[in-house]
A = this chain, B = another copy of it.
C-alpha cells in the first residue's frame, strides 16, 4: 500500500514536472511507450454500393478498424443507415470537395456555388481546380453542410479526414479543418511526415498539444500496386514502429459497378480496391498483426480518450 501511494505520488508529481508534449500519443491513450498502435482505415464510403459492402465485410470479417464516409455521394444513405444501425462501428467523415471519376459524378451540397462546382454542376475532378476556384468561405459552407447532414442522419462520426487530401495541402483549408475538428471534438487526420503530412503547410503557430497527430501514415502508391499489395503491406507491418500508425486503404469489389466507376483509371481502381480487400480480410494479415504484436485501435478510442 505504501508503495502504491509512492507510485501514485510520483505519477502525480511527474504529471506536473513533465510537459504534456513529452508524452507519446500511445502513452496519452494509456498504452506503454513501446506499443505499436495501428488504425486500419478504409476511405471512400458512400461512393458505391460495392465500396460500402466490401468495407462493411472487411470491418466485420477482416481487420479494418475504421472508415470514413463521403456525404455528397450517391450511396451515402446506404452507409448512413448502416452506421446508425451499428453505432459501435467506427465511421468518420471523408470531407469531400472533388468528384474525380469520369462517368459518375456528384455535386456539392451547397448547390450552385461557382467556386465549388464546375460548369457541369459537379464538384471539380482535381484538387488543383478546387484550389484555383474555391474560397475559404465557400469551403467552410460546404464542409459545414456535410457535417450537418451526417448529424441529421444520426451518424456519430469519430473523426474527420479529407478526400484526395484536398484539405491538407492549403494552409487556410487545413486550419479550417482543424478548427472544425476542435468544434465537433473529433480528431483530424494529421501527421508531421508522410503522404498526408502537413509539412508544406506551416502550422507551428496554430496547433496545440491538444491536437492529435499520428506518427506515421502508410498508403499504397501505384508502384506498390504493380509490385503486389501483399508484398507492400507485409513489408510495412513487419517494420512498423511504436506509436500511432494509420493505414489508408480502399476496400471494394472488382465488380461491374466498381469497374464502371473507375473506368480508364487503374490507379485506385476496382482491381486495386479488391487487392486491398483481399489482404485485409486474409488470415496471413491477421497472423502478421499477431506475430508483430500490433494493437489495432479505432478513431473512436482516440476521440473518446483524448478529446471528450
**CB closest chain-B residue, reference A102:** B77
Q: Which residues of B contact A103 (CB under 8 A)?
A: 75, 77-78, 81
Q: Contact string, A164-179, partner B, CB cutoff 8 A, digits 1/0? A: 0000000000000000
Give the residues from 144 to 160 in chain A that come closer than 8 angstroms, CB to CB, to chain B.
149, 152-153
Copy number of this protein in the oligomer? 2
Is A194 interfacial (CB 8 A cutoff)? Answer: no
The reply to whether B105 and A77 contact each other, CB–CB distance below 8 Å, is: yes
Is A49 interfacial (CB 8 A cutoff)? Answer: yes
The reply to whether B74 and A260 contact each other, CB–CB distance below 8 Å, is: no
Q: Which residues of B contact A106 (CB under 8 A)?
A: 74
Complex: A256 Cα to B256 Cα, angstroms: 9
Decide yes or no: A49 and B121 within 8 Å by CB, A106-B74, A111-B111 being known contacts: no
**CB closest chain-B residue, reference A103:** B78
Least distance between A258 CB and chain B CB atoms (Å): 9
Decide yes or no: A260 and B77 within 8 Å by CB, A120-B149, A121-B109, A149-B121 being known contacts: no
Count, chain A residues at interface, CB 8 A: 30
The reply to whether A74 and B77 contact each other, CB–CB distance below 8 Å, is: no
Q: Contact string, A244-272, partner B, CB cutoff 8 A, digits 1/0? A: 00000000000111001100000000000
The reply to whether B256 and A104 contact each other, CB–CB distance below 8 Å, is: no
Q: Which residues of B contact A102 (CB under 8 A)?
A: 77
Q: Which residues of B contact A77 (CB under 8 A)?
A: 102-105, 120, 122
Is A76 interfacial (CB 8 A cutoff)? Answer: yes
Is A298 interfacial (CB 8 A cutoff)? Answer: no
Give the residues from 76 to 132 in chain A that come closer than 8 angstroms, CB to CB, to chain B.
76-78, 81, 102-106, 109-112, 119-122
Is A281 interfacial (CB 8 A cutoff)? Answer: no
The reply to whether B120 and A49 contact each other, CB–CB distance below 8 Å, is: no
Is A50 interfacial (CB 8 A cutoff)? Answer: yes
Complex: A75 Cα to B76 Cα, angstroms: 15
**CB closest chain-B residue, reference A261:** B49
Least distance between A96 CB and chain B CB atoms (Å): 14
The reply to whether A260 and B78 contact each other, CB–CB distance below 8 Å, is: yes
Q: Which residues of B contact A112 (CB under 8 A)?
A: 110-111
A49-B260, A50-B257, A109-B121 given; 10 more Cβ-contact pairs under 8 Å = A50-B256, A74-B104, A74-B105, A78-B103, A78-B260, A110-B112, A119-B152, A120-B149, A256-B256, A256-B257
A-B contact pairs, 9 of them (CB 8 A): A49-B104, A49-B260, A50-B257, A77-B103, A78-B260, A81-B103, A110-B111, A119-B152, A255-B257
